[in-house]
């Protein structure tokens, strides 16, 4: 038992790859009994996934710096460009695209999740660093190596997309201090079992005190067992007393955080025009470089934006996703500090 489990790379399920006249082919298993091949044109950076007689177009390299990509394709990095792993635990392999790798051991990827109902891929809009799957609890774990260190837990929503539900930051007040501060936030959390007992320490010292299903708690710490987060320290506000102790991770339900997404017009994009609908007629209205919009809907190609100018006039319409950098902020999450 120890605090803050180390990083373990997600499995790479690439069966084989080959180069033919400027094309990289990656064979992988999409799901049990079904093979697939990812084709990458190294000249245009266009990519498709071939599943049987069906071809899926997916723009995998839209978020990758092209100069960095050229060094990866030249073989200057030991980290693979693509990983094929079931990120959201639905039985289908999703595609992880390398965004960057550092000397400290941090590797960031953007994930494209396969949707069997529509037989296509949907991009998770943000990169995840050092992804580790936790199949037993159906959670994702990300630990950023460095000082201060940062760890995150993700829950899979009903739409099959990851939602950040907990963040832990280690900070050392002084270099010579052995103690560290733990800054933890978690979203709306509550007990998920009929009876959840407090423990004095992770896995030991079971107490008579317990909480019942539906009780709301604040998460202030967590511990790892067998290199996976397994225990959480919680604080419960009773009628006359505050209770603090450890509980098993599976006794807690984390409500996914509402995410407010905004977008900024990219550097170098002089004008981004509004459209009346996806693939529709271009309007006269436009916004310029560094302008921001609230994103009402979005996919890999189009986003529906709400823009308010300096005079307070609002404009709503469809814009090209490629013109923007997506940003997000997490709302209604409680934050606690423990030493």
Indicate which CATH number applies to the domain containing 284.
2.30.30.40
Query: Is pLDDT at 277 greater than 80 in this prediction?
Result: yes
The better pLDDT of the pair 38, 334 is held by 38
The pLDDT, as a whole number, for residue 310 is 80
- What pLDDT does 334 receive? 36
In a domain, 66, yes or no: yes
- Same domain (yes/no): 265, 326: yes
CB contact set of 271 (below 8 Å; sequence gap of 6+): 286, 287, 288
Q: Is 338 contained in some domain?
A: no
What was the pLDDT predicted at 58? 93
pLDDT confidence of 5, banded at 50, 70, 90? very low
Comparing CA positions, the residue from 116, 114, 146, 117 lying closest to residue 129 is 146
**Are 141 and 229 spatial neighbours (Cβ–Cβ below 8 Å)?**
yes
Residues 18 and 121 grouped into a single domain: yes
103 Cα distance to chain centroid: 22
Number of domains in the chain: 3
Residue-averaged pLDDT of the chain: 79
Full residue range of the structural domain in which residue 311 is found: 259-330
Residues 6+ apart with CB under 8 A from 13: 28, 29, 83, 84, 85, 93
More confident residue, 103 or 131: 131
| Residue 24 domain flag | yes
Is 0.75 surpassed by the pTM of this model?
Answer: no
Q: Is residue 102 part of a domain?
A: yes
> Dihedral angle at the C-alpha atoms of 85, 90, 91, 95, nearest 10 degrees?
-30
Residue 104 has pLDDT above 60, yes or no: yes
Do you know the residue count of the chain?
Answer: 339
| pLDDT on residue 72 | 87
Boundary (domain end) residue, out of 81, 105, 130:
130
40-49, 102-111, 143-152: which is most confident: 40-49
């Amino acid at each position: 038992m120890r605090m803050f489990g180390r990083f373990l790379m997600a499995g790479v399920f690439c069966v084989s790859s080959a180069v033919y006249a400027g094309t990289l082919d990656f064979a992988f298993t999409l799901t049990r009994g079904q093979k697939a091949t990812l084709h990458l044109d190294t000249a245009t950076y266009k990519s498709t996934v071939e599943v049987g007689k069906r071809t899926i177009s997916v723009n995998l390299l839209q978020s990758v710096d092209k100069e960095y990509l050229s060094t990866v394709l030249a073989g200057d990095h030991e980290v693979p460009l693509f990983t094929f792993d079931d990120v959201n635990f639905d039985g289908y392999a999703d595609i992880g695209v390398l965004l960057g790798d550092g000397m400290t051991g941090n590797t960031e990827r953007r994930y494209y999740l396969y949707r069997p109902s529509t037989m296509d891929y949907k991009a998770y809009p943000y990169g995840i660093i050092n992804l580790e799957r936790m199949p037993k609890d159906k959670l994702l774990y990300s630990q950023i190596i460095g000082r201060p260190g940062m760890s995150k837990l993700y829950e899979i929503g009903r739409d099959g997309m990851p939602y950040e539900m907990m963040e832990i930051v280690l900070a050392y007040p002084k270099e010579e201090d052995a103690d560290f501060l733990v800054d933890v936030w978690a979203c709306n959390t509550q007990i998920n079992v009929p009876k959840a007992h407090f423990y004095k320490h992770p896995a030991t010292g079971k107490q008579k005190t317990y909480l019942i299903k539906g009780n709301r708690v604040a998460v202030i710490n967590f511990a790892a067992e067998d290199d996976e987060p397994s225990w959480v320290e919680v604080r419960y506000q009773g009628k006359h007393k505050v209770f603090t102790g450890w509980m098993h991770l599976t006794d807690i339900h984390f409500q996914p955080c509402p995410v407010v997404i905004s977008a900024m017009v990219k550097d170098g994009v002089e004008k981004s025009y509004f459209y009346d609908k996806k693939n529709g007629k271009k309007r006269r209205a436009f916004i310029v470089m560094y302008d921001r919009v609230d994103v009402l809907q979005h996919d890999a190609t189009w986003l529906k934006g709400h823009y308010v100018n300096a005079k307070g006039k609002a404009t709503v319409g469809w814009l090209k996703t490629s013109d923007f950098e997506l940003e997000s902020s997490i709302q209604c999450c409680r934050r606690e500090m423990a030493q």
